[in-house]
Structure 1
Amino acid sequence: MSTGSPVGSHRVVSPAGALPQAADRLDPNPEIADDEVRVSVERLNLDAASYRQLRTKHGGDGAAVRDEVLAIVEARGKMQNPVTGSGGMLIGTVDAVGPRSPLGLKVGQKIATLVSLTLTPLRITDRLERWDGSSEQVPAAGTAILFGRSIAAPIPDDLPEELALAVFDVCGAPALVRRVVSRRYHSGPTVAVLGAAGKSGSLSLAAAKDARAADVLAVVRDQDEADRVDKLGIADRVAVADATDPLGLAAAVNDALRGRGADVTVVCVDVPGCEHGAILSTATGGTVVFFSMATSFPQAALGAEGLAADVEMLIGNGYTPGHADYALQLLDRHPGLRALFDDRVAGRH
């Protein structure tokens, strides 16, 4: 192949003119263009919203989940859940580097891709035979293609691969939270993180604290999660609430924050229906940051309008310069956070 488009448009099979993420199908041909990189796939990490949807659809039947993931990849040339529209990321070893690739990667290097599987040409060659469908992380063999404008990070030598994958999967969240908290407010704002016991939520708590938020509230779904988050020693307070219950959530946040909404509300819940509650939980003039791929952005926009809510809403796009290194720094600074991720990777919660 000759030099391809740096954004991967040459890999789009249909529809014509689409970019890879919006495409119905990509060409996962392992032959690379001059500016591409081929990765020998070792493990996929399905994003939380996608995995939850698949598990729910199939009633927890792992074999059925595995079969559907295989069918999606075969049909689309990438892993993009047709219901949630989301994918995940992967780790693997660099197998070939085109002579014009600008990514600076070397053959034999173990990396994590920091771009979504929804735009990554992917070919599975082992039928996912080592995966029982019971976890977000998927042992796999195959090939993936990175473009000129893709992003990847070397796997740290001192970090287990599964743990690195779990951290890199959500590393965009803490970096953007830090930016919002530190740049948009002259004095420390109050921050509420919905879904604070999860991967992106717990890192967002740490980032808010690191950015010197005046008050950090962790919102979780039950007492078990409250106890888990409390052990982290990061949040100033913890509230138990159903993020899909708008009035109940707003009441819990207001009670915890002394009668007012949060200046910054961060949504990391991996189920739909949290848009209106997040808006109601945010103070006038505040900011809502949506990180969950379960978010309906029309619901968020129309909901804010219907509630006459003067809030700014941001979409967490998964990329902020330096996001991978920052997430690893937070993990290193907070032993409790590392333990939470270790438990999550081991399937202990």
Structure 2
Amino acid sequence: MSLPTDVRTGDPTGLHRVLDDRLVLPQAAQRLDARADLWPDEVRVRVERLNLDAASFRQLERKHTKYGETSGDGVRAEVLDIVASRGKMQNPETGSGGMLVGTVEEVGPESPLGLAVGDRVATLISLTLTPLVIEDGLSGWDGRSEQVPCDGYAILFGRSIAAVIPDDLDPALSLSVMDVCGAPALTARVVGEYAARGQDPTVVVIGGAGKSGSLSLAAARRSGAGRTIGLVPHDAERDLLDEAGLADVVAVADARDPIALRDAVTAAGGPADITVVCVDVPGCEGGAILSTDEGGTVIFFSMATSFSAAALGAEGLAADVRMLVGNGYVPGHAAYAMELLRADAGVRSLFERRL
């Protein structure tokens, strides 16, 4: 396919694909140029499946639910409209997107990604900055799950990240793991920092039975946590997490209720030295801060987090805690998450239940 003749100069961050009047990075852009022609360092992927991030899908699901019944047609139509109008999948309410699985169909001559035509890959960057075109109207998706069968194409930039999917795993399972692989890698790094100082930290994972939560619990234990506490919202998830054996203690509380969350963590052996927030609902900042000991660390991995609420909440509580934003990228994060999945039967069982 011929290279674009556009006067814009290609940039490894994808600036040349931004169609806004002002210069912004692709993630912040309102519209991206999703033409199929490649700039020299780009890669085009034939898309097989999208994985909408949890916060985005839950918002769409709530918006299109009436009298307790979700309209899958409504969810599907809105996703199609977002992609068609923006040239990418970025929920305007949550600002988040997800990731995708597909097969490389063309590689620009200057691409640094090391991919070859025919490679089956999962993108490790957000759909919020990935030019995307859907060509099948999402006819194979009922609008009722985060994983979206899809035919179309996407464009990767010179600074994009993608991982070749392992041959021994179901692609849907690989996609689920890679969608959240930044969480366990950063959890392991932070727990490792404590362990290197001779500490055996108490680690609380809010949303411990979910995808990122279960991987984070496994990573915390492997990296030197002295005690792991999984926090879940109801008894059914407590039973799942108990069965998986990933936490030393499983506690039940509504993470949006700061006092209930603090009390549940305290009763389970807290406060935490490290609190990892992996839930996809807003309003969990205060409880996470209250559950963390002075001098401790809170890692926010939810796209539903309000970072102003976190900062102002910690100030208002006179809480001396370090707060980290999980940005989804740590070197080697995909391989590490896959290793956890293969090595820990509890993690794998929770992921397979959700497929």
Match of 2:118 among 98, 103, 108: 108
| 2:280 pairs with 1:262 | no
CA contact (8 A) 1:15 1:24 kept: no
Query: Residues of 1 paired with 2:52 and 2:133: CA distance?
Result: 15
Instruction: Indicate the residue corresponding to 2:282 in structure 1.
Output: 272
The Cα shift of 1:8 comes to: 0.4
Q: Which runs of 5+ in 1 are unaligned?
A: none
Tell me the alpha carbon deviations over residues 217-266 of structure 1, each in whole angstroms, 9 at most, x when there is no partner: 00001111011001111211110010000011001101111xx4100000
Query: Residues of 2 paired with 1:251 and 1:15: CA distance?
Result: 50
SS at match of 1:44: strand
Instruction: Indicate the residue corresponding to 2:18 in structure 1.
Output: 12
The Cα shift of 1:71 comes to: 0.5
Please report the TM-score for the alignment, with normalisation by the length of structure 1: 0.97
Once structures 1 and 2 are overlaid, which stretch shifts more, 147-156 or 180-189? 180-189
Query: Residues of 2 paired with 1:132 and 1:97: CA distance?
Result: 32
Query: Residues of 2 paired with 1:15 and 1:222: CA distance?
Result: 47
Amino acid aligned to 1:245: D
Match of 2:246 among 208, 230, 234: 234
The Cα shift of 1:319 comes to: 0.3
Match of 2:192 among 182, 194, 198: 182
Instruction: Indicate the residue corresponding to 2:224 in structure 1.
Output: 212
The Cα shift of 1:212 comes to: 1.2
Instruction: Indicate the residue corresponding to 2:79 in structure 1.
Output: 69
Q: CA RMSD in A?
A: 0.9
Rate the CA distance shift 1:234–1:32 in 2: closer, same or farther, 3 A: same
Query: Residues of 2 paired with 1:343 and 1:4: CA distance?
Result: 43
Query: Residues of 2 paired with 1:43 and 1:331: CA distance?
Result: 21
CA contact (8 A) 1:15 1:23 kept: no
The Cα shift of 1:15 comes to: 3.9
Tell me the alpha carbon deviations over residues 121-163 of structure 1, each in whole angstroms, 9 at most, x when there is no partner: 0011111011000100000011100000000000100000100
Query: Residues of 2 paired with 1:180 and 1:115: CA distance?
Result: 22
Query: Residues of 2 paired with 1:250 and 1:90: CA distance?
Result: 37
The Cα shift of 1:26 comes to: 0.4
Alignment of 1:77-92 (within 5 A): 77-92=87-102
Match of 1:31 among 33, 37, 44: 37
Identity of aligned pairs, percent?
A: 64
CA contact (8 A) 1:4 1:36 kept: no
Instruction: Indicate the residue corresponding to 1:152 in structure 2.
Output: 162
Query: Residues of 2 paired with 1:336 and 1:285: CA distance?
Result: 31
CA contact (8 A) 1:192 1:218 kept: yes
Match of 1:250 among 254, 262, 281: 262
The Cα shift of 1:114 comes to: 0.3
Q: How many residues align?
A: 343
Query: Residues of 2 paired with 1:51 and 1:12: CA distance?
Result: 25
